[in-house]
Structures are given as structure tokens and as C-alpha cells.
Amino acid sequence: MTPSRIHVPRLYVAYILALLLPLFACSKQQKPAGTSSSSAGTSSGSSAQTTSSQHSASFTEDFEKASKGNYSAGEEKLNSGTWSFEDALVGSEQNDQKNGSKALRLRNSGAVRMMFDVEGAKSVSLSHAVYGKDKPVTWELRASTDGGASWKAVGSPMKSSGTTLQATTIAVDSKKNIRFEIRKTDGTPNRLNIDDFSVQSDGHGSNNGSGASASQPANPQSTNSVPSSNSSSGDVSHPPTNSSNSIHLTMGIAADGDPSDDYILERKQYALSYNKDKHVPNWVSSNLNASYFGDVPRHQGQFMPDMTLPNNLYRVRHNDYTGSGYDRGHMVRSEERTATLEDNESTFFTTNLLPQTHDMNAGPWLRLEEECQHLSQRENKELYIICGGIYAKNFPTIGKGKVAVPEKCFKIVVVLNRGQGLKDVNANTRVIAVMMPNITGIIHEGWQQYVTTVDDIERATGYDFLNALPTDVQKAIESRVGK
């Protein structure tokens, strides 16, 4: 039953806010002389327009009121809105290069991102330098126009090598709702300082400053969190549906009898169903062919909490696995997404992980991953892969009870020729199906001894897989042992 809601006219709310806001306004401490913001075309009072009471997308964040003093992942509300920190903090040491008393400090592959949108941006200005006597570092500015579901680099990769803050302005020219992220890209422990982050716009946008995008739902069952439904142009998150334009869901969106624990995330690189209670993917579905492989090195930073999940769903952290005795087991393998840096980093979201014993992860599971790589790269096959976990009734957990540990892991691989899709699947199509025990002592075993049928996997999980296929084809390929 939907709770009743009291309707309050928006103009009345705006009028009340206009009366109350001056009571709560506070003046911003000015920086020392000679350390004014580096933003181009921004007046000296622009930093006062960064609070949610202002109706301009332009703002400057100088991080002076921030207090985050450690590298652990977390969020903090600043003058401009809520920001997310990942292997980053706000530094105030003598070695921190800063205007005023504080600046951002990032290490490894750390990132700091806005958790709110502005309506359009002409450019971004900021100041950057290396921390103390650290060696040069590389980083880039990234932007998201889908509420933080996907990120793309803006401008050219940047390099910081000096110990004096250098001001830079990066053209954006976007009229869409947009948010930004600063990402350190070299993966080294050398540290980067960022200060005076400023967004310039044409003045017609609005900064809600609340840390929540207008496109992000408060309830995952209410609406799509991204306007687009085409995953080739951006990531999508939504409740279960019967169809999708994503190539990774060509064989169908697996479903069970309880859609309440399926929250669908569609990335450009793969798609998955997230379980709100177990805090793991129910399944991860992906397409694989030779085009997904390239020369991009493996991401060197920590695994990242998936910020595309709604705020009311737990976002698993890297440290939830630390000291558990289990590997952070990729569902979509890192090596299968090496065409671009963005592709590879997408495999390091914790929504792409299951707790796996090292013996399974580095043993038969790895050997099946290598078989998929051989088929797609060497034999020029088109693969459609679905994998996930199978759980005991009273399943163990890690991460202080937050993350469920599967009893077994399954994988289904539909093998076609390059360029083929749903219409090309027939009763004779090769399908690999395995269920592997998540135990120790199997590191030297091959994947072939764990072959089974898709029907057996469906009975074990409760999910109907490959449901986009005609019923007669499903019956034929799901009932035979897939090798």
C-alpha cells in the first residue's frame, strides 16, 4: 500500500524557504591575500554562491570547511554539497600544497567526486600540485551526465609535477545535468593536491547542493535512476523488467519468483542483478568477443563501492573483504575489459564481486575464464556469459555480517560465432554450464569436472536463465550437460 502524502504547493514552500534561509546563512572565511580562486570569469564573491540556497550552477569549493582526515572511503557534506572520497582526504599539513589551510589529497588511484548535479557547465577550474617532495603524478577530470552511473574523461590527461599550485581551466560545454570527479590515474603512492575547484556555467542552472541527483530515486522500486534505457550511451539502474537494449542482456533478464531482491544495473561493460539483502550480485551478465581485449593495464587501486546503487542499499567497501580469508572474486574478469581504462575500472566495482576461496578463484574458475578468453580471442567466438552464486539456507557472511558467501558459484556460457546473437541460437548451440564448490583444495582441478546443465543451475538458484530464447530452444540446450 502506498503511504498517503500531503501535497504542499511548491510556491508556498519556496516562499517559506526564502524567509528562513537568511537566518541560517553564514559568511565564508576568506583566503589569505594572493590566494584567490583560480576560476576564470568568477567574481570574488562567487564562493558564497555554493550553498543550496543559490540558483546558479556556478560554484567554487575551497574545502576549507572539510574535516575528512583519513583515506578510508566515505562521504562528507561541504559548502557546495556532498562529496564522495575514495583513497583521498582533506590535508592540512605543511607538505600539502594549498590556498588557505586545506586542500584535497589523493593517493594510489584515489578519487573525489560530487554527489550532486549542476545544470550545465561551461568549464571547470582548479589548482593542482604534488604533495611535499613526491614524484610527478597523473590524473584526469571526469564527468557524469547520468547521475553518477557512468563517467567519462573530460579534456586531456593531466600531469602534476611541481610543488606549487598551478591553476588550470578545462572546457566542458555541457548543458545537461552534470557532476564531476577528480581521479588519480597512475596508481602510485605519490600524492596529488587539488584546491579551489570551481564550476562555471551560463547562470541558468541550479545546484541542489544536497548530495543527491535529481535523477537518483529515493526508492529503487520507484523509477529508473538514469533517464536513458540504452546502455550503450550510459549506465542504467532499475527494478526488474522483461526487456532491455543492452547487448549484455541479449539472452534475457534472469528472473526468479521474488523481484524485490533484484535491482538491475546496466553498464556499458556488463549488467547485473544486485541483492539488497545479501549485498552481492544475484547474477552478472556480459557479452564477450575479441573487441573487449586491449592493452590497458589492470586497475591498481582498491575495489570501489558502487555509487550507482540508491542510497538505501548498502554499498560494499573494499575493506569488507579484508582479512576474511576470501578472494575478491571477479564475475566479469578484469582481463576481459582491457580496451579502455574506463572498461577495466568498471570491473573493480564491488557489485561485480563474490567472496571466493582462493583455490576456486585461482583454480577451476580461472581456467574457465581462460577458456572463454581463448574462445573469444583465438577462435573469434561471440560469447554470452551469466555467472553468480548459489547459497546455503544459513549462509556465512563476511564484512561484519554484511556480505553473503556463496556455497557454490555457477557460470553459463552461450558460444556463437562472432557477430551472432539471439536469433542464431538453436537446439545445437554449444552452451557451457558449471557449478563449482566454493571450497579449498581444488586449486589444481580443471573446470570440466564441474559441468552440469542449465536446468540444474536454475533449480539451485531459482532463476530462469536464457529466457529470451524460444521455449523449444531453451528446453533443448538447458537440459543437456554443457561442456
Give me the active site residues, please: 330
Output the DSSP codes for 119-166.
Answer: EEEEEEEEEEEESTTPPPEEEEEEEESSTTS--EEEEEEEEE--SS-E
Rounded CA gap, 454 and 395, in Å? Answer: 23
The partner residues of 181 in beta bridges, in order of sequence, read 113, 142
Gap between the Cα atoms of 434 and 413, Å rounded = 9
Classify burial at 80, counting beta carbons within 10 Å of its beta carbon; exposed 0-12, middle 13-18, buried 19 or more.
buried
> Helix (H, G, I), strand (E, B), or coil: what is residue 387?
strand
| CB-based contact 160:184 (threshold 8 Å) | no
DSSP string, 34-92: T-----TT--TTGGGG-STT---S-EEE--TT----SSS-EEEE-SSSEEEEEEEEEE-
CA distance 121 to 176: 8
Query: Contact, 221 vs 239, CB < 8 A?
Result: yes
Other C-beta atoms closer than 10 Å to the C-beta of 20 total 11
Which residue is it, cell 566454493?
A: 438
Residue pair 101/64 in contact by the 8 Å Cβ criterion? yes
At 238, which helix (H) or strand (E)? strand 236-238
- Helix%, strand%, coil% for the chain, nearest 5: 20, 30, 50
Check residue 349 and report its DSSP letter: B
Query: CB–CB of 443/363 below 8 Å?
Result: yes
- What the block records as the C-alpha cell of 370 is 581462460
* CA atoms of 128 and 107, how far apart (whole Å): 14
118's CB contacts (< 8 A; 6+ apart) are 57, 59, 177, 178, 179, 199, 201, 205, 206, 207
Question: What gap in Å lies between CA 286 and CA 406, rounded to an integer?
Answer: 20
Hey, CA dihedral for 364, 365, 368, 370, is it positive or negative?
negative
CA 61 to chain centre: 24
Cell of 349: 566495482
Distance, CA of 97 to CA of 92 (rounded, Å): 9
Q: Under a CB-based contact definition with an 8 Å cutoff, are residues 313 and 438 in contact?
A: no
